[in-house]
Every structure is written in structure tokens, then in C-alpha cells.
Structure 1
Amino acid sequence: MPRRYAPASGLVSPRFSGIRTFARLPHVRDLDEVDVAVIGVPFDTGVTYRIGARFGPAAVREMSAMLRAYNPALDVNVYDVLSVVDYGDLPVVPGYIEDSYARIEEGLSPVLEAGVIPICIGGDHSISLAELRAVAKKYGPVGFVQFDSHTDTWDEYFGRKYTHGTPFRRAVEEGLIDTARAIQVGMRGSLYGPEDYDQSRALGFEVWPTDDVRRAGIPAVIEAVRRRLGDGPVFLSFDIDFVDPSFAPGTGTPEIGGFTSREAQEFVRGLAGVNLVAMDLVEVLPAHDPAGITALIAANVIFEALSVIALNRRPA
């Protein structure tokens, strides 16, 4: 039997009808009998180039109407296992990153305390720091896997410590990430210098630039990810610019030479068995996504993560 909360069926009501929630899930704030909550975090003033990702949650929800319940690749019906809701958006303060951090952390705390897995839709990548602060309050330092074309471990931009290029350096400094169980995959593009990847390694991350991934092969890298993460609680952060801009043009800092949408699915499916306790998907910028294909990929990446969580919880 399905769990308490599940999407409206496309066989009963048309997919173009109704209020736009993620995958047509009910919009619910009561966390009783909820396993996973999809949550929008519409903040984008931590960016250093293109703004507009504040509209990402709405765009991903719009394109998620096409999602169905059964994942044939993983052989799991998500809503037979999980009770999932769209929790709505967390409050933010446009233009004020530290005020927004406080509100995001406060907004996520009751979700985590209820034992619910939050899946956050950004917004720019700066929001991850606030999410990690809330997650670490619940679990302590967590394992961490990041699919991204940038490491986001720079020290500062324009003299500022909090931007979408710095969250994971701050997270390590604050003791939010267990760096012995932390890995970054997909980095590519031009750099400020050779030290850009070295600074991530110096912080304790295992780093797999795209060129190394291509040489080793995706199955080998997935095995490296699983080995690195181990059995403890894990935070998954997926920047949509991990996907090549020919597939995902709607993002703030695109880099060519990336992964296909099919490969993005493969990486997330490879996390089956990993103890995911929180996730975010960030940097969807609808103004540069006129056909909605970036938001469509983002919605499907979240569906793959939901499928992994369901597979992990499905009775033997």
C-alpha cells in the first residue's frame, strides 16, 4: 500500500492542472508520517555572475509534473515506500546572505528534528552552508558528496567570505563536514591557478576533476564515491552545472565539457545504499532555460535521489 502522502495520478487528473508542487505532491507543513520533504530555497544573491536562480524552485516544480512513481532502472516505486510532501519555500532575505542563512537554518531545523529527509531546491550554491549547519546540529559532521563543475572552496570573493563559491571551505572550517568521508566530482573549466583543486585537497576532500573521471570511467568513480562515503550519514549536493550546458543551459556559471543528462542519472543511481540524510540541487536559472530542459533534468535528478532513498528503505 502507498504511504500517507503521494502525488496526484496523471491517470486521474491532467498533469497541466492543479497548483504547481514538486511532482504534484501535496503541499503539507505537518511532518507527522512524512519521510521526505521537498523544500524550495529561493535565494540567489550569493552569486558572482548571473542572478536569477531565486526562480529555480518554481521552475523545477513546473517541470516535475511529468514525473511518475516507478523507477524502472532501480526497480522501485517511490511512493509505495516513502511518504513525501512539498513543504513549500523557506524564508529568505534577498540581498542579505547572513540573514538568509539564519532563516534557512531555523526553517530546516524542525524538519530534521522530525526525522524527515530534506531535499532542497535552490537558489544558488551559497545556501548549502546554512543547510549543512542545520544538518550537523542533528547528525554532527556528515559525509559529503558534491557533483559540480566547481569546487566552491575558494576563501573569498571581493573580500567577502560568504558567496556561492565559498560554502564548502566555510563548512569545513565550521566542522560541519567529515572530510574523511567527503568527495567532489566533476570539476572542470578554466581556473585561477593550479592551487584551485589543491586547496580542496588540502581541506581534506577527495577531488575527481572531469578529465580524471573520463580516464577512470564512471563505474570506477561511483565505486570510489561509495568507498569514500562509507556507512554514516551523507549530505548530497548537486549543482546543475555538473551537466554540460548543451543539456543544461539554464545555470549561472556554465562550463563546457560536462556530463550528459543520462550520465547524471547514472551518478545519482550509483548512490544506492548510501545513507542520504539531506540533499540540495542548486543553480537552476530559468531565464537562461527557455525550453525548460535544465529544470526538467533537475527534477529528474531529484527523482533519482528519491528512488535511492526509497530503495534503501524498502523492506528486504
Structure 2
Amino acid sequence: MNLSIFFEPLPEELFGGTDKPKSVGGYLAPFIHSFPDWRSAEVVLIGLPEYRGTPDATDLTYEGPNRIRQELYRLMKGTGSWLLMDLGNLLPGIHLEDTYLRLKEVIEILVAAGKFPILLGGSHDLTYGQFLGYEHLSKTVNLVMVDSQPDMAHVEDTAPDQHHLHRILLHDPNYLFGFSHIGHQTYLTDTTTLAAFEKLHFELYRLGQVRQQMQEMEPIIRQADLISFDVSAIRHQDAPGQATANPFGLTGEEACQLCWYAGQNDQLSSLGFYGYRPEFDHRSLTAITLATMVWYSIEGFYQRQGTLDFHSNQFLRFSVGFHDNPNKMYFFKNRQNEKWWMQVDDLSGRRPSLIVPCSYQDYLTAADGEVPNRWIVMQARL
């Protein structure tokens, strides 16, 4: 399919060249005069200048994706081949729902072709379009969202960017296997929403937990098929360019750490950054923060290891027995990067065993005779 019909080219005066050949801008192929051959790329950038999902969508600056690009292009290229292409900005549909469907079609094509799209939004409700792109891939998916609060407001009296998560969870057909929310702040979050998520066996990690146990976030991100990152999860000091700026939140360094984890995830097939409002971004500080986050995502992508064979010499296998149970729990440790995995057997016997990401702490918990919470949650989803 000709993807070029969905995109508008980038302005030549901004992206027509670079005076630093070793910079990101010197290595990627942007859509300026002719649409690049995306089939020869590994990572593709897509701008989403769509804000109709916000409650104050009038008189906005729609240059958010381009502002992020300007800062990203200036950064120095990292390791790896960096086969990176910038497809330009997605043309908004006549209606907001049309934009969702356009984004759905683009994501579906790119993911099916094995490309890694990075989305530069745009309001956070565009996550719904990103999610729709997985509907026809004949598989269930895991969604990880980084946000200051779950967007689960009542549909009838709120803007789409405040209830899009509600639409995702109720979408039919249901192909969402797991959902994890990272970085919510308790004083911004309805306790009934948290209780409902726990009943659905979703994993929620408040800001304090993320900050105290950053390494424990790595297995959560490693099991994601798609990730949605709202800039509101970052504190105002590092990202003032947002509609609901807050003095509390992730630091820029912590946000980059999560993006590094995301890039390294072999399973991750799309990553979206949302909520950037350039009209609030004095001195482009937020654009710089987001550009650096994108840089770490791409750099992490080129540290991926590919297909994992848990029966090869690449992994050490550990078995943990329990004194009152004849069954054993199995763990695998990657010799190269020391990442841990855990085997979860379906107790009903209806499904084959799963090997899922875990942490070293999960292994220590099992070795002490306790069942790790991660195993319990995964067992409940089977």
C-alpha cells in the first residue's frame, strides 16, 4: 500500500539538511521532497499534530512533532546502523475518529512489516488509534502506559484524552492480554479506578514505587507490545510543555531510563509519546527532554538480542521447590545481559506454559518459599 497518501512532507527550511554529518539528522531520511522507502528502514518516526481530543483544542500550536524533531536531529547518532526514516506528519482526518482509523491502518502496516514506529503526538487519546493497529494481527497484546493518572473518566462528559483508556479496555473484539500503568500519582487518581484495575489483575505502580524500584520497572516494560508515554508523567521542571504541569513526577533522567528499557524490549513494536504542548514550552525544554527520550529508545532498539532460545547456552536455568508442594518454579537468567525470566504454568492445563519477564527479586522471593506476585498476576490472566 502507498503510505505516502496519509502524510504531509516536512518543511524544507527546517529539515532540509544538517551541518553535522554524524548527527541524527545526518543519518535519517526525512519526507521532504519524496516519500522515503520505508521498507528499507528499521525505525520510523511519525508526527501526530492532532489535538482535537483535548478539552481546549482551539488556538493551539500544531508544531509539536516538528519541535521535537528539531531537537532530535541535533543529537549525535548512537551505536548501531540507525536505519531511521521520518515519514513526516500524519494528515488529520475530517473527524477525530477518522484520524484514529488512519493511525490504525499505518500502525498495522508497519508492525506487520516488522518496523518499529515511534509516534510524536499529539493528544494522549491517539493511543486509541495506536492500539487499534493491533486488531488484525491475530494475537493478544500487552499495553504499558506511563502517565500521572489513568485516563478513565466518564465518557459522556469529558474530552477523549481523558477517557481513551476506557475505550481501549471495552474494545470489542478484546485482544488486550495485559495492561500495566506506571507512574500514577495517588492524589490525582480515583481509588475506585485503582480497585477496578486490581480486580482485572492489571499492574499499577505509583510514582513513589517507580522511583524507589526503577529496576523493577524493566520486566514490566519488557513484556509490552506497545507503550504509550504521556508527558504529564514528567515533572514541570523537566517538561513544562504540557497542559497539566505538575511539580511532581518523573525526572527527565528517569523518563529516559524507562525509554532505554523500552527500546531494548524485543517484543515492543510501537512506542508513542503524547501530550506535548509547544505553546507552554519556553526555551524548548520539553522538546529537548522528549527528543532525548526518543534517542534512548532508538539506542536501546539497537541493543536488542533478537529471538530468545531458553534451551540454549545463552540461559542459565534455575528450579525452585516448595516444601509443601511437589511442583517447582523455573527461572531463566540471560548470561549476556543478566535479565531474568520466569516460567508460568497454567494450573488448569488448558494452555501451554508461558515464559515471562521477571526480576532477580522475583527469584529471591521464590527461593525464600513465597510465590512472587508477578506469578500470581500472570496465572490469573491465563
TM-score by length of 1: 0.79
Question: Are the aligned partners of 2:128 and 2:167 in contact in 1 as well (CA < 8 Å)?
Answer: yes
**Aligned counterpart, 2:284:** 292
**Aligned counterpart, 1:218:** 214
Kindly state the Cα deviation for residue 42 of structure 1 after the two structures are TM-superposed.
1.1
**SS in structure 1 opposite 2:53?**
coil
Question: Are the aligned partners of 1:189 and 1:256 in contact in 2 as well (CA < 8 Å)?
Answer: no
**Aligned counterpart, 2:28:** 25
CA distance in 1, matches of 2:101, 2:181: 26
CA distance in 2, matches of 1:256, 1:23: 36
1:256 and 2:247 matched: yes
Larger radius of gyration: 2
**SS in structure 1 opposite 2:182?**
strand
One-letter code aligned to 2:214: I
Which of residues 34, 37, 52 is equivalent to 2:41?
34
If asked which structure has higher relative contact order (CA below 8 Å, sep 6+), I would say: 1
**Aligned counterpart, 2:274:** 282
**SS in structure 2 opposite 1:300?**
helix
Task: Out of 41-50 and 289-298, give the one that drifted further.
Answer: 41-50
Which of residues 215, 232, 237 is equivalent to 1:241?
232
CA distance in 1, matches of 2:26, 2:62: 19
RMSD over aligned Cα, in angstroms? 2.9
- Distance of aligned partners of 1:67 and 1:302 in 2 relative to their CA distance in 1, 3 Å threshold: same
Question: Are the aligned partners of 1:53 and 1:123 in contact in 2 as well (CA < 8 Å)?
Answer: no
Kindly state the Cα deviation for residue 131 of structure 1 after the two structures are TM-superposed.
1.1
Question: Are the aligned partners of 2:18 and 2:26 in contact in 1 as well (CA < 8 Å)?
Answer: no
- Distance of aligned partners of 1:55 and 1:121 in 2 relative to their CA distance in 1, 3 Å threshold: same
Which of residues 286, 294, 313 is equivalent to 1:302?
294
One-letter code aligned to 2:97: E
CA distance in 1, matches of 2:21, 2:115: 28
Which of residues 44, 58, 63 is equivalent to 1:55?
63
**Aligned counterpart, 1:153:** 152
Question: Are the aligned partners of 1:150 and 1:187 in contact in 2 as well (CA < 8 Å)?
Answer: yes
CA distance in 2, matches of 1:192, 1:311: 35
Which of residues 174, 185, 190 is equivalent to 1:188?
185
One-letter code aligned to 1:198: A
- Distance of aligned partners of 1:112 and 1:127 in 2 relative to their CA distance in 1, 3 Å threshold: same
Question: Are the aligned partners of 2:47 and 2:88 in contact in 1 as well (CA < 8 Å)?
Answer: yes
Kindly state the Cα deviation for residue 9 of structure 1 after the two structures are TM-superposed.
6.8
**SS in structure 2 opposite 1:32?**
helix
Identity %: 20
CA distance in 2, matches of 1:23, 1:202: 49
Kindly state the Cα deviation for residue 37 of structure 1 after the two structures are TM-superposed.
0.9
Question: Are the aligned partners of 2:266 and 2:305 in contact in 1 as well (CA < 8 Å)?
Answer: no
1:92 and 2:100 matched: no
Question: Are the aligned partners of 1:149 and 1:188 in contact in 2 as well (CA < 8 Å)?
Answer: yes
- Distance of aligned partners of 1:199 and 1:183 in 2 relative to their CA distance in 1, 3 Å threshold: same
Kindly state the Cα deviation for residue 157 of structure 1 after the two structures are TM-superposed.
5.0
Which of residues 74, 77, 85 is equivalent to 1:69?
77
Kindly provide the CA deviation profile for residues 109-138 of structure 1, in whole angstroms up to 9, marking residues without a partner as x. 332332211111100111111111113323
**Aligned counterpart, 1:133:** 132
Question: Are the aligned partners of 1:44 and 1:53 in contact in 2 as well (CA < 8 Å)?
Answer: no
Kindly state the Cα deviation for residue 105 of structure 1 after the two structures are TM-superposed.
1.7
**SS in structure 1 opposite 2:124?**
coil
CA distance in 1, matches of 2:26, 2:196: 39
TM-score by length of 2: 0.67
Task: Out of 256-265 and 106-115, give the one that drifted further.
Answer: 106-115
Question: Are the aligned partners of 1:145 and 1:237 in contact in 2 as well (CA < 8 Å)?
Answer: yes
Q: Which runs of 5+ in 2 are unaligned?
A: 1-15, 308-335, 337-382
- Distance of aligned partners of 1:210 and 1:93 in 2 relative to their CA distance in 1, 3 Å threshold: same
Which of residues 156, 159, 166 is equivalent to 1:169?
166
One-letter code aligned to 1:69: K
Question: Are the aligned partners of 2:186 and 2:206 in contact in 1 as well (CA < 8 Å)?
Answer: no
Kindly state the Cα deviation for residue 246 of structure 1 after the two structures are TM-superposed.
1.1
Which of residues 257, 260, 284 is equivalent to 1:266?
257
